[in-house]
């Protein structure tokens, strides 16, 4: 496409496989007064990668 | 729903329901805007306009625009708590002009510090009531948590024991003003605390005007010099640790930190503070708008907000310039948006989880929906110290002990069950989401802010389901900057 560049394709995950509740509580990161939920990461993905690459529970 | 915006001299399109992001050229931007407003002239088209029409059609076929409104399933809380703010001390060695905890800091000294026993029981309470959550979070907060290191150390030690006995993983955060970071405490923190948040407001004169030391010898002096010196020492050692752990690409080895500042009506030119902190050698920064009741001398005025919005644009420009030079990384917390992933729909709807997944515990064991509600009696959820279990002394508690022992977490000091807290109130909090806020459901930014901070809404008089309008405007600009920076990176 010449005029439109796709940057991100449907990143918001929905459905039965989601909502595990493991993601970091947003005020535990850095804010404490102005909650931003969209800049958190998905713990399911992180957990998968950590277990695969590091092989540790932490 | 589509949202178009211009940021950093570029044009963007966000498909709200799917989160898809596109960068546009100027003509495509104008055509899509005309379509959204229904003012497009579709009669005669140039070659370029026809090309753009085709590209828009391709986006639609790929499901990247015009996604239908999501039908949200009613979320049911499973009763699990996963995060706790542990106010181990309501004393403070600083007096800061904007402190939201200033009222509780006035607590009599005898009640200012949490006992190590209660800190341990709070950790056990969290573990015992966390259901199937694996990652549990505890933030040591206050007051100044370093004024009560015995409680901090006891809580961490108990958490590590529980990790060995179960599959739970504790992630500890420390939020501190930094002035009491001795070498010994730094070693402990870098060994045990996965995320450290140190409060520095930016330029020396800005910081010192608000964050002053308390004490006989130095009462009223600015805290900048001591705090920055200690913060640098902590981060130097933390970075050294990180170098040794480069194989861990997820930075999960107690290496995270943030320098977190607050800006007020006195420094709406806060890009200068970000620049200052960066030049001091700090890479991970978060600068937050102060939230205070109208009339406070430091409160942001409505007339400040447009300037702050422009300031975020300037900050994004500065970050882009630095990125091109690539001399040293600069991370700004609120611009850090993962365009390829990020949280799922469920998390985006419910935001912080205050009052059910997340609770705050004060030094006497009183529990509140979050750290900002501490001390507000009408929001108190209960007390975890009142129901400390002593089977041998109180036979009526035997049942709770028995139940607890079946959860596989051995303990000599048994914590209370979740029903120590007001379940009705917690269920009520679990039902709050952006879906309860009609204004939010129609907003393009809803999946990034999650409906905003309940405590801020209460503070400004809008009520728990209300909206803090100033935060709303600033949030939207930060999200646009975060998306734009993320897009340009690609």
B211 and B177 Cβ atoms separated by less than 8 Å: yes
- CA B93 to CA B227: how far, in whole Å? 12
- Which phi and psi (to 5°) does residue B361 adopt? -120, 130
Mean pLDDT of B168-191: 96
Mean pLDDT of B178-200: 96
What is residue B176's three-state secondary structure?
A: strand
- pLDDT at residue number B222: 96
- pLDDT at residue number B240: 75
- CA B356 to CA A26: how far, in whole Å? 14
Length of chain B (residues): 490
User: In this predicted model, what pLDDT tens digit does every residue of B109-148 receive, in sequence order?
Assistant: 556 999 999 999 999 999 999 999 999 999 999 999 999 9
Yes or no, beta carbons of B82 and A39 under 8 Å apart = no
Q: In B61-168, at which residue ranges do the beta strands (DSSP E only) sit?
A: 83-89, 94-96, 135-142
User: In this predicted model, what pLDDT tens digit does every residue of B266-279 receive, in sequence order?
Assistant: 999 999 999 999 99
User: In this predicted model, what pLDDT tens digit does every residue of B144-154 receive, in sequence order?
Assistant: 999 999 999 99
Yes or no, beta carbons of B28 and A27 under 8 Å apart = no
- Scan residues 1-58 of A and list those with Cβ closer than 8 Å to B: 1-14, 18-19, 21-43, 45-47, 49-50, 53-54, 57-58
Distance from CA of A48 to the nearest CA of B (A): 11
* Confidence category of residue B76, pLDDT binned at 50, 70, 90: confident
- CA B155 to CA B160: how far, in whole Å? 9
* Confidence category of residue A45, pLDDT binned at 50, 70, 90: low
Higher-confidence residue of B410 and B64: namely: B64
Distance from CA of B205 to the nearest CA of A (A): 22
Count CB neighbours of B45 within 10 A: 13
| Interface pTM, i.e. ipTM | 0.85
Cis bond upstream, residue B415 (ω within 30): no
Give yes or no for residue B41 having a pLDDT over 70: no
Q: Which of A5, A23, A38 to mutate to test the interface with B (most CBs of B within 10 A)?
A: A38
- pLDDT at residue number B36: 87
pTM for the model: 0.90
Mean pLDDT of B380-406: 55
Give yes or no for residue B489 having a pLDDT over 90: no
Q: Which residues contact B373 (CB under 8 A, 6 or more apart)?
A: B354, B360, B379, B455, B458
Give yes or no for residue B324 having a pLDDT over 70: yes
- CA B462 to CA B455: how far, in whole Å? 10
Q: Which of A19, A22, A23, A25 to mutate to test the interface with B (most CBs of B within 10 A)?
A: A25
- pLDDT at residue number B395: 47
Longest dimension (CA), chain B: 88
Mean pLDDT of B416-427: 79
Tell me the pLDDT of chain B averaged across its residues: 88
Mean pLDDT of B453-479: 93
B457 touches chain A (CB under 8 A): no
Among residues B186, B155, B147, which one has the least CA distance to residue B172? Answer: B155
- pLDDT at residue number B310: 98
User: In this predicted model, what pLDDT tens digit does every residue of A4-29 receive, in sequence order?
Assistant: 999 999 999 888 778 888 888 888 77
- pLDDT at residue number B411: 44
Length of chain A (residues): 58
In Å, how far are A52, B102, B194, B242 from B164, measured between CA atoms? 21, 38, 18, 24
Give yes or no for residue B396 having a pLDDT over 60: no
- pLDDT at residue number B362: 95
Among residues B266, B335, B326, which one has the least CA distance to residue B296? Answer: B266
What is residue B51's three-state secondary structure?
A: helix
Q: Return the residue of B nearest to A41 by Cα.
A: B342
What is residue B218's three-state secondary structure?
A: coil
- pLDDT at residue number B486: 94
B340 touches chain A (CB under 8 A): yes
Yes or no, beta carbons of B83 and A58 under 8 Å apart = no
- CA B444 to CA B447: how far, in whole Å? 8
């Amino acid at each position: 496409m010449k005029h439109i560049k796709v940057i991100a394709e449907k990143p918001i995950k929905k459905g039965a496989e989601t909502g595990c509740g493991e993601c970091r509580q947003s005020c535990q990161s850095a804010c404490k007064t102005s909650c931003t939920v969209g800049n958190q990461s998905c713990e399911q993905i992180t957990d998968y990668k950590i277990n695969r690459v590091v092989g540790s529970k932490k | 729903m589509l949202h178009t915006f211009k940021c950093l001299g570029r044009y963007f399109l966000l498909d709200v329901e799917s989160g898809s992001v596109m960068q546009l050229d100027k003509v495509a931007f104008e055509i899509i805007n005309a379509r959204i407003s229904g003012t497009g002239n579709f009669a005669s088209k140039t070659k370029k306009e026809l090309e753009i029409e085709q590209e828009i059609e391709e986006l639609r076929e790929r499901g990247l625009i015009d996604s239908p409104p999501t039908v949200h399933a009613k979320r049911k809380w499973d009763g699990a708590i996963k995060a706790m703010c542990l106010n181990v001390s309501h004393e403070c060695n600083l007096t800061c002009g904007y402190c939201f905890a200033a009222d509780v800091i006035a607590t009599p000294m005898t009640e200012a510090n949490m006992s190590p026993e209660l800190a341990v029981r709070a950790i056990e309470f969290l573990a015992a009531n966390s259901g199937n959550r694996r990652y549990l979070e505890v933030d040591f907060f206050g007051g100044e948590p370093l004024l009560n290191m015995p409680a901090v150390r006891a809580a961490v030690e108990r958490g590590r024991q529980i990790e060995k006995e179960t599959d739970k993983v504790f992630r500890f955060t420390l939020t501190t003003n930094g002035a009491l970071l001795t070498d010994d405490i730094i070693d402990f923190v870098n060994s045990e605390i996965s995320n450290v948040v140190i409060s520095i407001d930016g330029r020396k004169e800005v910081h010192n005007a608000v964050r002053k030391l308390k004490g006989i010898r130095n009462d009223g002096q600015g805290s900048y010099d001591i705090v920055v010196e200690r913060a640098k020492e902590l981060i130097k050692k933390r970075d050294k640790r990180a170098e040794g752990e480069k194989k861990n690409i997820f930075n999960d080895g107690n290496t995270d930190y943030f320098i977190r500042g607050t800006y007020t009506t006195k420094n709406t030119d806060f890009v200068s503070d970000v620049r200052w902190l960066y030049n001091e050698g700090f890479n991970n920064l978060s600068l937050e708008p102060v939230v205070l009741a109208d009339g406070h001398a430091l409160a942001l005025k409505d007339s400040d907000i447009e300037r702050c919005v422009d300031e975020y644009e300037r900050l994004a420009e500065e970050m882009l310039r630095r990125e091109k030079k690539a001399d040293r990384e600069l991370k700004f917390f609120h611009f850090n948006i993962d365009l390829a992933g990020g949280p799922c729909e469920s998390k985006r709807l419910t935001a912080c989880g205050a009052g059910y997944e997340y609770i705050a515990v004060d030094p006497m064991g009183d529990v509140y929906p979050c750290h900002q509600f501490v001390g507000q009696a009408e929001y108190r959820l209960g007390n975890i110290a009142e129901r400390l279990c002593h089977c041998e002394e109180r036979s009526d508690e035997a049942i709770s002990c028995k139940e607890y022992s079946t959860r596989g977490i051995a303990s000599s000091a048994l914590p209370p069950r979740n029903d120590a807290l007001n379940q009705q109130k917690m269920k009520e909090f679990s039902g709050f989401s952006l879906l309860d806020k009609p204004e939010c459901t129609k907003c393009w930014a809803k999946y990034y802010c999650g409906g905003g901070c309940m405590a801020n809404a209460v503070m400004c008089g809008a009520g728990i389901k209300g909206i803090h309008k100033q935060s709303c405007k600033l949030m939207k600009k930060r999200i646009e900057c975060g998306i734009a920076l993320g897009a340009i990176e690609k």
